[in-house]
Structure 1
């Protein structure tokens, strides 16, 4: 699988579809890897050049010593586009990837035609809670986090009826890099773009899960009220909405990027 060097990290990525078609980049959530986008890869690679990558510290990307910053997470995406000689792309990120998307829309608007930020917020959670989680993972590894992830990610009904998929996602999390995960927690502890949302000029679609306990519909409304060219789409899902409701997610994303 191809990798490229972005500053101090080796970033694992994969492309799908025809490179002459419009490019769309997908960015994973904390504790996952790019395979979380399988329902979108299958759907969008017909009409798009789909680019997926593992955020630094995740999947098959390297996990250099942290802490990381939101600036680094965003710059990795710009460097990936440069590596692939792509001037402009659409971007879709979920949770941590959604914060990356906001940073890109603020700092590199010229590189993106559309930005989709899903199940995210302009500031996710509290700094101390992220710092505590980073310390826990460095001390005890990822097993304690992996054992409780499903309840944060999905509704109870989805967990009960999709146990094989839940097991794979939990196993992927548990097998990840504790240092990479903790370093991304430290990036999320400091990440706060609330004051910069007003500077965004790229068209933005905000996807908010109606049953998401982590990043709420209210978080989505906060962003929508401050980003001029934005729209809010509520989806009947918890935190990993692209997996829980792939059809509704894909349709909303397709309508937005084609508008």
Structure 2
């Protein structure tokens, strides 16, 4: 289905229970991926909840407005998706920039986000120079110029050397450079350390031991901003542990869903 926010059409997929009365889990994916990032875990998730995921603007089957984008626009897109599907009191799972969206939405709409999972993310990611350099590279050379370096940050050595890496590299290469640059711009301008430190809601952090984009210490520092949060490292996984270690990822999610009364 498509949800529109200020003229931008967002591609949304709903799995599991279909009605708004079901407990709901919302997934927000990372830069350079689409909603199919979560495919490896979907069949492993507990039955009962409604599972919602969408393509960020500039990614997948969503519209690609001109770059740059603001983090406020990405959060408003998430809000529009949730409002269109009558989502209230959800568990919001955000990976990388999806985790930044989770933090921003939790601050803005406490009625939507009851608990959150911050996976491979931070309250602040990199420096403006890092992101501006990446924007310049993708504009001048396209996605292919960045692909090998990104694979090194996304995946541990064993997975990266296996045939299993091919579809994920293809997903990155098929990302529209304008959309990629747009989201890079949103990340460059975001520092959520102060607002995130004011949050008071059940929170779990997940990191990959081999993550070259958001190392475990960064994830731990971010979830430690929220009192009562807990933190887990998935071994032999990089930036996308839901791909490399899907069963372990689901085991952590299922435990959190149980502790928060979602299942």
Q: What TM-score do the two structures reach when normalised by structure 2?
A: 0.93
How many aligned residue pairs are there?
256
Matches within 5 A, 1:162-173: 163=163, 165-173=164-172
CA distance in 2, matches of 1:204, 1:257: 11
Deviation track 1:80-130 (CA, whole Å, cap 9, x = no partner) reads 011112223211111111111111122222211211110111111111110
Contact 1:205 1:230 in 2 (8 A): yes
More divergent stretch after superposition (61-70 vs 144-153): 144-153
What SS class does the counterpart of residue 121 from structure 1 fall into? coil
2:68 corresponds to: 67
More divergent stretch after superposition (206-215 vs 36-45): 36-45
1:78 corresponds to: 79
Contact 1:109 1:200 in 2 (8 A): no
1:112 corresponds to: 113
CA RMSD for the aligned pairs?
1.4
Change (3 A) 1:247 1:45: closer
2:217 corresponds to: 218
CA distance in 2, matches of 1:153, 1:119: 10
What SS class does the counterpart of residue 31 from structure 1 fall into? coil
Contact 2:152 2:212 in 1 (8 A): no
1:52 aligns with 2:53: yes
2:231 corresponds to: 232
Between structures 1 and 2, the one with greater helix share: 1
1:137 corresponds to: 138
CA distance in 2, matches of 1:223, 1:47: 30
CA distance in 1, matches of 2:128, 2:36: 28
Matches within 5 A, 1:110-189: 110-161=111-162, 163=163, 165-189=164-188
2:258 corresponds to: 258
Instruction: Report the alpha carbon displacement of residue 45 of structure 1 after superposing the two structures with TM.
Output: 6.2
1:241 corresponds to: 241
Contact 2:91 2:116 in 1 (8 A): yes
Instruction: Report the alpha carbon displacement of residue 43 of structure 1 after superposing the two structures with TM.
Output: 2.1
Change (3 A) 1:54 1:148: same
Structure 2: 5+ residue stretches without partners: none
1:10 aligns with 2:3: no
Contact 1:109 1:201 in 2 (8 A): no
Contact 1:114 1:257 in 2 (8 A): no
CA distance in 2, matches of 1:93, 1:115: 8
CA distance in 1, matches of 2:183, 2:217: 24
Structure 1: 5+ residue stretches without partners: none
CA distance in 1, matches of 2:69, 2:46: 31
CA distance in 1, matches of 2:205, 2:119: 6
What SS class does the counterpart of residue 233 from structure 2 fall into? strand
> Which consecutive segments of 4 or more residues in structure 1 shift more than 3 A?
none
CA distance in 2, matches of 1:229, 1:56: 33
1:41 corresponds to: 42
